[in-house]
Structure 1
Amino acid sequence: MGEQVTVDKLYHKSWLKPLGLPTLLFVLYVPIGVCLLIIRAFILLQFFLLGYVLPPSKFRQKCLRVMSGVLGISISSEGELSLGAGKIYVANHITSYDHFVIHLTTNAIMPKKEKIASIIAKPFGLVEMDFESFSKEQIDSSKDTFILFPEGETTNGEVGVLAFSTVQVPVGVTIQPVAIKVSRPFLNTTAVSGKGALELLILLFSPNTHFVLKFLPPHTADEEGAWKQNMQSEIAQSLGLKATKLNASDKAEYLKRLYFRPPSLATMTREVQRKLAPQTISPELIIATLQRTGSVEATLESIRQSNITGGINPPPSTFSKSASQRMMTFQERKRIMIATARQKYIEKHNLTIPPL
């Protein structure tokens, strides 16, 4: 089943939904969205201040959740939150703020290796730590509950779940899977290029972004790592999605194919000329070689090899004063170069070969 899902099905290329009624409604909504964005930007500053000042507690959790509702985030949960301190929540990944929604619901934190400014980390439930180096004893003795996203990358949450391959959990640690579903009017919940700040602007602009958290029965990490595949399947099944064999690397390759634009022939020609300097090769010869090889490096190798073997005698780059020479086609100049190289080879080895 997983092989039937291609990577492009897991991502929206744009925030805008297909043309139709949603597009018309979005156009009408834009002025309201801009006003909401401006107002919520000021409220967001107060949210950061409150989240930074208040110590971790249920009171802080409720305050932040109320303010998040004003910012356009609504949350509903299903199932039993059966974990306490020293345990791990594992979830599918849709937006850059999934961890924040789980944090508002459970007070769990998300470990990050990267250095994070405390004024941003604390309100969003982030903490700087190398979680992969933690032992079972360290996790069990911790006062915190942790959030992990084993997919390693976001998806649109509409077709499939990426393979759980980016995290390691010590054997014996209790893990509870969380299935996340996100919905938003007018706009897609994610876009393949959307990250961080852009997603925040979309969130503040939208009338509402609704998160549904489904807490599934907990598991214990086993030595073989089978819990990853089991949890991936359980989360996918609870959301009506497919458990795929695709991973974060497949998304990276998809992004390369989607946004990579190969350099023009003129750009590659200049690059070859620059790397061959001070040697001068006619642009016509470079272009012909580029069209055959398709790359700068292969073209350089071909030209250098041809020069070594005497197969090419590149013409001077100066502009000819002779009108007849300027009118010669590339094929004619090519025949002349080949004939000249052939004659030099014959003379060098004292061969007696009748002319062609």
Structure 2
Amino acid sequence: MALTLDKLTNDERFSGDNVLHFLLYLPLGLILMSTRVILGLVLWIAAIILPNKSAVRQILSTLACWTFGVYVELNGGRDPRCSVLVANYVSCLDSLAATYTMGSISLRKWKVPPFFASTLGIKNTAQFVRKEHFTEIPIKPVLLQPEGGPTNGKGLLKFTDWSIPIGNRVQPLAITVERVFTNVTVHRPNDKSDVFPWWDALWFLWTPCSIFTLKLLPAVDRMEDSDQVFAERVRQALADALQIEVTEYTWEELNRGPRVRRRAAIQSEVMRRARHVKEVLPLVPLKDIVKELEKTRSVDVTITNFLEGLVPYTPEVESVAEPQPSTSQAPPKYVTPLPTGTFPKSAKERQMSFQDRKAQMIAEARQRYIEKHKLQIAC
């Protein structure tokens, strides 16, 4: 069964573990977060003071792993002939796990402070003028995650094309993350690929431990394949290793999916309610009904506001046929009584009058609906 877009994202932070365990851990989690924040300040100062050397960066990466509670397990060996690693995308700290274990460089468009980028092993893509730069440093592999954005790990997104033409040999890297209590990545309507997800990173500080498992797969050669075929072979190798499905969705579709679905569902529900109001109040313009429903979220309240005159509107003009010179003209089926000009004195009488008019209009609308759809319902 093919995965749908909503199956590839986590819209809720909590993963459904035992609530009692979560509540018992909550005080300890707050203490742990406070301790890690202090450790993060030490890391920030060290990143500013210490020189930008390989050994120093390794120390900073270790401190960053302690700060975020990241534990990394590395399986398999790196192919020294490959300068490019292609991995799936599951969290904002994938690059930290790869930098800590393999000293790799990860390409991102994130707008983060320089010390933070250096600690995570991040290089901005704008720093690389030519794609040949990737092969100039074979000792430090370049980590690419061409999905473009994270998923919940149940499927593999379609690779973007900006990184595929690099090199004729790449090594796939399968990444999985395990954590108790909370999901690693939560998708929000305003997610942007060039903004670091600080909220997801904050939950790394609270969680006791996040276990990253990195599995290096056998290298894949391009041979005579085109860029698209080569990308699909690498993607299929990752999917087989992770035992997940390959999908035809892109990160752009996934990112805007929840927002579009929620907006469409809300709009559909509003229009459904507006049609009900329109059947009761046929002279009220549909646009005014929709506008009022967006405020009240209730059919009954909307009808009441229009009947009591609380919401002004311009009645729609119904098309009236020209009268024919005939003495056997049938009277109209539905006649709404005109105002008598007498305003009830007491609130009780006004309420009864309003309820009578409302009941009559609902009954007429119901009868019109039955006749329109030719329903066999006893009135």
- 8 Å Cα contact 2:187-2:255 kept in structure 1: no
Aligned-residue sequence identity (percent) comes to 22
Letter of the 1:205 counterpart: W
Give per-residue Cα distances to partners, 1:58-116, cap 9 Å, x unaligned. 453145325513531101100002247x8211110011111121111122112234654
Q: Give the stretch that moved more between structures: 9-18 or 141-150.
A: 141-150
- SS in structure 2 at match of 1:245: coil
1:178 aligns with 2:181: no
Q: Do the aligned partners of residues 289 and 100 (structure 1) sit closer, same or farther apart at CA in structure 2, a change above 3 Å counting?
A: same
The alpha carbon displacement at 1:30 in A equals 0.7
Instruction: Please state whether the residue corresponding to 1:190 is helix, strand or coil.
Output: coil
- State the partner residue of 2:201: 200
Q: Which residue of 2 is the match for residue 127 of structure 1?
A: 123
> Residue 171 of structure 2 contacts residue 218 of structure 2 at CA under 8 Å; is this kept in 1?
yes
Q: How many Å apart are 1:47 and its aligned residue?
A: 1.8
Report if the CA contact (8 A) 1:12-1:191 is conserved.
yes
Structure 2 residue 237 is matched with structure 1 residue 243: no
CA-CA distance at 1:334 after TM superposition: 4.7
CA distance, structure 2, for counterparts of residue 265 and residue 253 of structure 1: 21
Whole-angstrom distance in 1 between the partners of 2:127 and 2:115: 21
Measure, in 2, the Cα distance between the counterparts of 1:202 and 1:24.
19
Q: Give the Cα–Cα distance (whole angstroms) in 1 for the partners of residues 62 and 8 of structure 2.
A: 29
* Pair 1:290–1:234, CA change in 2 (3 A): farther
CA shift, 1:285, in A, is 6.0
1:35 aligned to 2:36? no
2:76 is equivalent to residue 73 of structure 1: no
Q: Deviations over 1:147-193 (max 9, x none)?
A: 11111121111x22112235333364432111001001111222222
SS in 1 for 2:91: coil
Listed as ranges, the gaps of 5+ residues in structure 1 are: 270-282, 293-325, 344-351
Q: Which moved more, 1:107-116 or 1:97-106?
A: 107-116
Instruction: Quickly say closer, same or farther: Cα 1:168–1:72, change in 2 above 3 A.
Output: closer
Partner of 2:300: none
In 2, Cα distance between equivalents of 1:285 and 1:119: 65
Q: CA–CA distance in 1 between the matches of 2:118 and 2:56? A: 15
Q: Return the alpha-carbon distance in structure 2 between the equivalents of residues 207 and 236 of structure 1.
A: 29
Match in the other structure for 1:308: none
Q: How does 1:222-233 map to 2 (within 5 A)?
A: 222-233=225-236
Residue identity matched to 1:219: V
Could you state the TM-score of these two structures normalised by the residue count of structure 2?
A: 0.65
Count of residue pairs the alignment pairs up: 288
- Counterpart of 1:319 in structure 2 is none
* Counterpart contact for 2:61–2:120, Cα < 8 Å: no
How has the CA–CA distance of structure 1 residues 262 and 44 changed in structure 2, closer, same or farther, with 3 Å as cutoff?
Answer: farther
TM-score by length of 1: 0.69
Q: Contact (CA 8 Å) 2:86, 2:145: kept in 1 or not? A: yes
C-alpha separation in 1, matches of 2:56 and 2:316: 82
Shift of 1:37: 0.8
Please tell me whether the aligned partners of residues 57 and 118 of structure 2 are also in contact (alpha carbons under 8 angstroms): no
SS in structure 2 at match of 1:93: coil
Letter in 1 for 2:89: H
The residue that corresponds to 2:15 in the other structure is 17
Instruction: Give the aligned partner of residue 155 of structure 2.
Output: 160
What's the counterpart of residue 50 of structure 1?
Answer: 46
Asked if 1:191 is matched to 2:186, the reply is yes
Distance 1:228 1:57, change over 3 A: same
CA contact (8 A) 1:96 1:196 kept: yes
Contact 2:134 2:166 in 1 (8 A): no
RMSD between aligned residues: 3.6
Please tell me the residue identity of whatever aligns with 1:163: K
1:87 and 2:90 equivalent? no
**Equivalent residues in 2 for 1:244-263 (5 A)?**
244-260=247-263, 261-262=266-267
Deviation at 1:219, TM superposition (A): 2.2
Q: Work out the CA distance in 2 between the residues paired with 1:14 and 1:245.
A: 24
Shift of 1:252: 2.5
